[in-house]
Structure 1
Amino acid sequence: MVEKDWSLLNGLALAYIGDAIYEVYIRDYLLQTGKTRPNQLHKSATNYVSAKAQSFLMHKMLEEDGLLTEMEVTMYKRGRNSKSHTSAKNADITTYRVATGFESLMGYLHLTKQIERMEELINWCIQQIEEVQNGSSKK
């Protein structure tokens, strides 16, 4: 089988698989934390996988010096700049596009078999969301 150059794939195709992969990791994480009721799982997952959450996480990744490689930023931008004919139900177009870029990055890492790196970033994302949740619950 010939190895494909996944860096040439369009951003929406990368986001298509990235969305699914990221959601599986989040669902797995939530089950491991002991959440088992479907309604509880869905509500908790939204804190991680919504366009708003993904946009927040992507902005934080970009702000953190040295977190992302040049190629990872390129793959994010490919997804962000893709012209989609759909939009999120609960997000403005800018938030939706940044989230699409986030999903494209995850898709690129998955397809290029950079699983350790993808898991490193997903764990970083989980930590960021946990910090926000723990910080807001103290108020």
Structure 2
Amino acid sequence: MRRNTFLLLSAAMLSAVAAFPHSHAAAPQEWDGDFHPAKVSYLSYSGSLSEKEPPKTGRQKLSLMMEGQLAQELFASIGPDQKDACGEGSGLRIRRRGDISCTLDKDSKAYPYTCYIGVDIKTGKSTTGSIC
């Protein structure tokens, strides 16, 4: 039951996030109103991201990590780059807007773009999805 709740919440958050970048994508595309596939991973936990604990009822949080095309579109939509961000200057570009954070790792071949957003399951509100 708990896993189904997380999966449903993940799908809902992803659909909300996925709808945003298509209106702001670098290359204009005809909007079709359909959902698009995305590479998404999640972490269920309690406590803070820096001191993660196993998920506990009433204190559960969810961090969603998006990679690939969705992350690239989000990265392009939320610019500009942060100055003096952790990892900056090492081939890593970081952008944040509210609780969404995205990175471009120029050294990564597989998935250079990665974005994170978190959800506090108890309140249903977004929270940060990554530490740095």
TM-score normalised to structure 2 length: 0.32
Q: Report which of the two has the higher share of helix.
A: 1
Which structure carries more relative contact order (alpha carbon 8 Å, separation 6+)?
A: 1
Q: Report which of the two has the higher share of strand.
A: 2
TM-score normalised to structure 1 length: 0.31
